[in-house]
Amino acid sequence: MAQSDNNTLAVPAEESKYVTVFNDPVNFNAKHPLHSSWTLWFDNPGKKSNANNWEQSLKELITFDTVEDFWGVYNNIMKTCDLAISSNYHLFKQGIKPMWEDPANKRGGKWSIQLPRNKTMGEIDNIWLFTMLACIGEAFEYENEVCGAVVSVRKAFFRIAVWTRSSDNQDMAMSIGRTLKKAANIHGTMEFQSHHDSSSNAGKAWTV
Amino acid sequence: MSTNSRAIPLPSRRAEPGTPIPLDYGTTPGGTIYSSTPGGTRIIYDRNTLLSLRNSPLSRTPPAKLAFVAGVTGASLPHQAGSIHNRSHLNVETHDSGSDDDSDEDSDDEKRKAVAKAQEEEDAKGKLKKGFSW
């Protein structure tokens, strides 16, 4: 009793309990490695948002590199449909910040679509989930082109976007757009725009 | 950390006679667990493979390092306990209420007030600070 405030959190000795698929093809518990490490970010800048202080509201939630750790995160965070208005989840490869200024995004662009909130409420969780699964599962032919993905919760719509490293190669961009649309069961027209054009409100480059 | 020495298991895959060959048998993901090939082919998993791993005990465990953001991560999220949604509780925003700028398409005063109220209630309960343990 004297040491009742001792913190004795048990740390499982995981290494000793690993059972790989080779040891036991059914009850293995070794985690499945991902090709890339991914970082999940969250932000809700709310009304205070402007170009200067946006970054402050950006929160790095976690970085993971196995399938099971992805699910461990996904199963324990708020679903998109329950997020407050103006929230965003960003899933980016580790080392790439979810902002235009990052060297990996600087010359890049994004595929995006705005889905009406009312009509999409029941589907948005799966659309975002399948978008993330396409990323972490490396479903894209030009895997290195993909920097990350974003879901945005707004008053009237949800926006899904996938950010690419470059914006001047139509073949690569179109391939990513088609794969995304199929993988995430997206209905409607997705548009590709370079970040440079987005910031200057220039016209759309490509659609799929 | 076993000290027993034993042969490294060979990566052989056995199936009962008559077991159908997986649809993705010839592909890198799913069918082969360690699916990167020499020369740098990427490790890929298709959607069904990933979904099939969704509910294992490992996949249900929140990572220890998951950062806490009120209303986004942490204890008592609705889908965890399967409880009924409590929206005033869920809509807590992460930023302090502060000076209002004009700005964007998404802003909504009433929402912010509701959110601030929810946050106060939450703080009063002290739930978020004390109840959060991972």
- Residues B44-70 have a mean pLDDT of 89
Residue A7 lies in a domain: no
Q: Which two tokens stand for residue B134?
A: 């991972």
Residue A56's pLDDT band (boundaries 50, 70, 90)? confident
Residue A48: band (very low, low, confident or very high) from pLDDT cuts 50, 70, 90: low
**Is the confidence at residue B7, as pLDDT, over 80?**
no
Instruction: Among B69, B73, B95, select the one facing A76 at the smallest CB separation.
Output: B73
Tell me which DSSP letter residue A82 carries. G
CA-nearest of B94, B54, B51, B50 to B71 is B94
Cβ pair A134, A103 in contact under 8 A: no
Instruction: Check B98 against A48: CB less than 8 A apart.
Output: yes
**Do the Cβ atoms of A72 and B85 come within 8 Å?**
no
Q: Is residue A6 part of a domain?
A: no
A121-147 pLDDT, tens digit each: 999 999 999 999 999 999 998 989 999
Place of tokens 């009850």: A27
pLDDT in tens, A81-132: 999 999 999 999 999 999 999 999 999 999 999 999 999 999 999 999 999 9
Percent of the residues in chain A that have a pLDDT greater than 90, as a whole number:
72
The model's confidence at residue B81, banded by pLDDT at 50, 70 and 90, is: very low
Residues of chain B with C-beta less than 8 angstroms from the C-beta of A45? 95
Q: Which residues are CB-contacts of A23 (< 8 A; sequence separation ≥ 6)?
A: B9
Complex ipTM > 0.90: no
Residue A1 lies in a domain: no
Are B30 and B22 a contacting pair, CB within 8 Å? yes
Answer yes or no: is A17 within a domain.
no
Predicted pLDDT of residue A99: 95
Q: A150: domain CATH number?
A: 3.30.760.10
Alpha carbon of B44: minimum distance to chain A alpha carbons (Å): 5
pLDDT at A36 > cutoff 60: yes
Report pLDDT for B129: 41
Range of the domain at A113: 29-207
Classify residue A18: in a domain, yes or no: no
Structurally, chain A folds into a number of domains equal to 1
Query: Which has the higher per-residue pLDDT, B129 or B44?
Result: B44
Q: Within a domain: residue A16?
A: no
Shortest CA distance to A169 belongs to which of A200, A204, A205?
A205
Long-range CB contact pairs, A182-185, < 8 A, 24+: A183/A130, A183/A131, A183/A133, A183/A134, A183/A139, A183/B47, A184/A127, A184/A128, A184/A130, A184/A131, A184/A134, A184/A160, A185/A123, A185/A126, A185/A127, A185/A130
- For residue A47, the distance in angstroms to the closest alpha carbon of chain B comes to 6
Mean pLDDT of B54-69: 88
A1-15: average pLDDT: 43
- How far does the CA of residue A142 sit from the closest CA of chain B (Å)? 11
Residue A185 CB neighbour total at 10 angstroms: 11
Cβ-based neighbours of B76, under 8 Å, separated by 6 or more: B83, B89, B127, B131
Is A3 inside any structural domain?
A: no
- Name the amino acid, one letter, at A170: Q
Q: Specify the amino acid at residue A63.
A: T
- Quick one: pLDDT at residue A29? 72
> What mean pLDDT value characterizes chain A?
87
The Cα A103–Cα A1 span in angstroms is: 56
Best A7, A9, A67 residue to mutate vs chain B (most B CBs within 10 Å) = A67
A122-A127-A69 Cα angle (round to 5): 115
Could you tell me which residues come within 8 angstroms of residue B134 by beta carbon, excluding any fewer than 6 positions away? B62, B64, B66, B75
Query: Is the confidence at residue B82, as pLDDT, over 70?
Result: no
Contact A158/A124 with Cβ under 8 angstroms? yes
* pLDDT reading at B119 higher than 90: no
pLDDT at B102: 41
